[in-house]
Structure formats: structure tokens, C-alpha cells
Structure 1
């Protein structure tokens, strides 16, 4: 009894709307249990059903009834009597289901469905209902129904399928399913890249190429270049890695930003100063009077005497000796670094 304690399928509804499917499920299950003879009228008036078999069949039938129906047929003790009572009560469901199935069959069209699978599901559901109600539907009817409801734009395909002369609907259904998948692949390939357009580069191709280039550039030469750029000089205390941009002709923007340590004027450096001596003395005295000193610069008497020797009243530059040139070069470089 434990094998029938759980419901194998839906119970019979109160209005009998699922009577056709319910009777089919009951007959199949009782046949598998060896109890199919319990709901069949005995031949020759001899009842060969045993009491345990009738009890099992009755319990199974009542277990798959709606609770309201179960209470209505509480007095029935014979599975055959219960089966016939339900048949007399809900046998009109066949005519109701048949009318609805026939209406669905008339309105069924292949062009109204988006896929072959959806059309096949609706077609087989309608055909099954009609067959349960006693109306015979053949494969030829199903093939004709399908081909005659093609979209008008597919007239050529419809004629080709007719010329194939299929005898089973399963063959036509298989061909339609394969053609649908092929068309879907074709449309996807077209939508990915329209006609005449260039192929899209492979994703991450540039990243992979740059990583390969970076790997080639790694090694001993990497640190050697850095050491050379940082620590090797060009003869004037400037590293090779810090090259100054080439100044174009007539560009005095850098000189305009500087300030002469000798006269305080802007627009030229110390070694290019052409300011007269008496103006230089006035500038130096004004700085001493204020108690301010030029950063990193000291005026010594010997330097002032050299200035007097190097600059005359006419503003012409007097040649300096080699030691003084080196000193001015060092001061110029130090100013550039600042």
C-alpha cells in the first residue's frame, strides 16, 4: 500500500474538466499494478476479482479524487461501480473538449508562431484532444495543415516541401527545425558584422602586444640606462637624462625670467651685464643699506676691482683671463640649476 500513498498525477476536478486525462492516467497506472481488471465489466457474469485487488484499486481511485468528490462517493465500495459512476457523470466532457479542439484546429496557423517548437507543441496538444474524443487525425492532415498555413512570403519554400512528398509529419517537422536553426545562425552572423564592413580586431590584442614589447625591453639594459641617465654627466654637472630644450633664435623668455646678480636688472645674466659701473655701485650700496644679501653671492673688493677692469665706460667687454672665465662659467651653471 505504500506505493500508492503518494499521488501519481493530479486528482479529478470537481467539474470534471480534466476527466479525459485523468481516466487515461488511471488506466495506465492500474495496468502497471496488475489491477486493470478491477474496473472492467466481468465477461460471462463471473467475477474473478479478489477482495484485496478490489480494495487496492478502490483506495487508488479515491486517493486521486478531489476531496469534495471523495465525500460524495463515500458509500461506494466497489472500484468498478465508482468508475462507472464517474464515467456517467463526466462523459459529456468529451463533446465539450471536442468542440474546443476543433475550433483550435481551424484557427491554427504555422505563420502565427515564432518557432517550430512552439507550433509543434500547439499542434500535438490539439490533435491529442481530438483523438481522445474519438476523432481521427492522420499525418497527412497534419502535413497539409502545416504547409497550407505558411506565410505568403515563403511560397517557394512551401512548394519545395510539397514536392518532397513527406508521408510522416515527424519528417517535415525535422526539416523545418533544421532550416530554422540554419536561418538563425545566418542572421546572427550578418548582424555581428554588416556587409562591406571591416572585421573587428581581436579583443585585448593591443594589450597583449604591448606586454610582449615590455617583456622584450626588460633585462640588464634597463638598469644600465637608468644609471647612465642619472649619474653620468655631460661635462657641466648636468645628467644626460635632463637635456634642456633647444632655444630658438630670438627666444629670450628664459633670460627675461632671470635677474642679474650684479645690477639687479632683469633680461640678462651676470656675464652679459653691460650696466655702467656707477649704476652697479648704487645698486650694491642700496642692497647693503637694506641689510639684504643676494643668495649664494658675495661681493668682495677683489671682485669689484676685476669688474672695474672688465667693464669700461663705453660698455665694451674687455677680455678676461682663463681663471675668471672658469669662475663665471661655474656661477652661470649654478644659476641655471636654480
Structure 2
């Protein structure tokens, strides 16, 4: 076929056609021009075999007789491949279509090319059993050309691939959840369709400041702070010891973890209080001084309860306080 196309495009086809009665003899330019292009398409081994042939017509007939026998060799193999080809054996419609065209070209060389109806029936009858509904739909459309059916199958395959890509990109049930610390407010001061001014300072600005201060809490910024600023009660860097409002039980746990104990504080005395060892009752102060605690268990002497008799009051009488007399 390549030789025929090449010779016909250059007007040298008369060199390989059988001569007719009354035709003028071939010119040497046409004769050797056709011989040059025929030998150009031959294998190097064939060139050496037909080296002495100078007539293009005789060379063409010799090659034709030699390779016409290939039809008898190619036809059985091509028919076997056509009978065994299945659409379900291929991963894509494009691969199946390429294999069909390759087999049909070999059958066409042997003059046994299948028709469009046979190609359509071969395609629809070899689909997967799971696609039986699609098979019925394609049969109902009654395609007349094999190319129309392949175009429809390729289009459906591309849509399925796009659907699978979208599913794998975000499977079902993996929608992003809202943030834990998100704060949603419904304010009517501004319309949702209108854009707020750039210099607006409202609740959003206040919320951002609060978030900024909250993020500084805890021990996540240990390396960015000086150890002299640590709170002696809870160990935080966001406040000083005087401004610590941590609950007492958390303070005790922190001090226990670092190996320190909470200092015991008693009642505070006045600034000018002078503590003396005098045990007389004449000593005056704003608060009674408690004796020091010790582990000795001693019983107090029994107080004289005789003076308590005068304190008993007859509650049955009407004169509770004794002021009616």
C-alpha cells in the first residue's frame, strides 16, 4: 500500500500496471524512477535477493506472488482472536476499541472484515453481567454504526471516572467539622450582604483580643519567658504571684509536684503589737493571743461551776431579763 501511494503520487503507476496493446514503451526515467521507489520500501535482505531485476513490473509481480500467500497464514489467527475478544477482558473502552481495529484490519487484508452490526453485537454481548441494564438501554437505541456506540461508551466511562475521583477526594461522611472554639453570633447591626468598613472596631476585635490572651495561658510559651516572671503558686507565666487566682487545691498539687509546701499563715497581728511573756490579763491587744500548739495532751482543770447557778433563769416566768423589777 505504501508503494502504491508513493508511485501514484508521482505519476509512476503505469510502470507496474500490465502493458496494454497499443501502449507506447516506457521511458527510462519512468522505469527507473518506479524501480527506485519500490526498492526504497524493501527490506535489505530482499534488495539483495532481487538485485538483478530491472523491470518494475516483473519485480512487483514477484513480490505479489510471494506475499499473497500470507493471507492463508494470517486469516486463521485473526478469526480466532475475533471469536475470543471480550469487552469485559479490558480495563477501558479505549483499549478494547484499539484491539478491535487491529483485528479488523487483519481480517480486511484477508477480505473477511466484519460488518458494523457484527461489531456492535460483539461489544454488547460481551459486557459485564453487572451492566445488564446498560446493555438493554444501548440495545433499545438501535445503533447502526459501531463508531456511535464506542463514542457513547467512552463518554459514559469518562463520567464514571470523574465521579470516582470526586468520591475519593472526599469520601462520604468526611465533611469538615466546625472548630471547637468557634463563636457564632447573630448580630443585626450590619446587613450580611453589606461589607463592613475596614476601621470597624466592635465585638470581633474584642473577641480577637480575648483569643490572643487565652492563647498565652499555660506552659506552651515556656521558652519565650523569663523564669523570674513565674508564678510561685501555680507555675504560670501569664500573671504574677500577687495576681494569682488559682484554686487552693491546684496550688497545693503544683507545690507538691515541685517539692515545695504551702506556707502556713496564722492570724496577722497589728504592726505595733509587742508580744511579752506576761500572762496577766491586764495585757490589752486587738486580738487574743492563742497559745502555741503542742503535741502534749493535757486535760484542763475543771472550772468552778458553782457560779453558774446564779446564771440559770426561770424561762417559765415572764421576766426573762429581770428588768421588770
1:190-218 Cα deviation digits (max 9, x unpaired): 334444x142479xxx9xxxxxxxxx97x
Paired residues for 1:214-253 under 5 Å:
242=240, 244-246=243-245
In structure 2, the residue matched to 1:151 is: 128
Match of residue 199 from structure 1: 175
Cα 1:112/1:272, change in 2 over 3 Å: same
Match of 2:61 in 1: 84
Residue 136 of structure 1, CA deviation: 3.7
Question: Per-residue displacement from partner, 1:241-272 (whole Å, max 9, x unpaired)?
Answer: 64642375697869x969xxxxxxx9579x97
List alignment gaps of at least 5 residues for structure 1.
Answer: 1-23, 207-215, 226-239, 259-265, 274-305, 320-338
Size of the aligned set, in residue pairs, is: 227
- The structure, 1 or 2, with the larger RCO (C-alpha pairs under 8 Å, 6+ apart) is 1
**Is 2:12 the partner of 1:50?**
no
Separation (CA, whole Å) in 2 of partners of 1:60 and 1:200: 70
Contact conserved, 1:38 with 1:79, CA < 8 A, in 2? yes
What CA distance in whole angstroms lies between the structure 1 residues aligned with 2:119 and 2:74?
19
Report how far residue 117 of structure 1 moved: 0.8
Q: Are positions 1:27 and 2:4 aligned together?
A: yes
2:120/2:146 contact within 8 Å kept: yes
C-alpha distance in 1 between matches for 2:28 and 2:175:
79
Q: Does 1:95 align with 2:94?
A: no
CA deviation map 1:24-62 (0-9, x unaligned): 122122222222222221222635532112212211221
CA–CA separation in structure 1 for the residues paired with 2:8 and 2:176: 63
**Structure 1 residue 74 and structure 2 residue 38: aligned?**
no
* 2:6/2:37 contact within 8 Å kept: no
The structure 2 residue matched to 1:183, chosen from 152, 155, 160, is: 160
Q: How do residues 1-338 of structure 1 correspond to structure 2 at under 5 angstroms?
A: 24-44=1-21, 46-47=23-24, 49-195=26-172, 197-200=173-176, 242=240, 244-246=243-245, 310-313=274-277
8 Å contact from structure 2 (residues 105, 113) kept in 1: no
In 1, the alpha carbon distance for the partners of 2:114 and 2:35 equals 35
Higher helix share: 1
Which residue in 1 is equivalent to 2:194? Answer: none
C-alpha distance in 2 between matches for 1:36 and 1:75: 21
Distance 1:180 1:166 in 2: 18
**Secondary structure of the corresponding residue to residue 21 of structure 2:** helix
Q: 1:310 to 1:192 in 2, by over 3 A?
A: same
Shift of 1:313: 3.2
> What is the Cα deviation at residue 95 of structure 1?
1.4
Check 1:248–1:165 CA distance in 2 against 1; reply closer, same or farther (3 A cut).
closer
Q: TM-score, normalised by structure 1?
A: 0.55
Q: 1:248 to 1:183 in 2, by over 3 A?
A: closer
C-alpha contact 2:127 2:135 (8 A) present in aligned 1: yes
On the 8 A contact 1:257/1:267 being kept in 2, the answer is no
Distance 2:64 2:12 in 1: 18
Say whether the 8 Å CA contact 1:311–1:317 is kept in structure 2.
no
Deviations 1:109-143 (A, max 9, x none): 11111111111111111111111111242211211
Task: Tell me the distance in 1 between the aligned counterparts of 2:171 and 2:150.
Answer: 31
More displaced, 100-109 or 61-70? Answer: 61-70
TM-score (norm 2): 0.57
Q: Which residue of 2 aligns with 1:213?
A: none
Cα distance in 1 for partners of 2:248, 2:93 equals 81
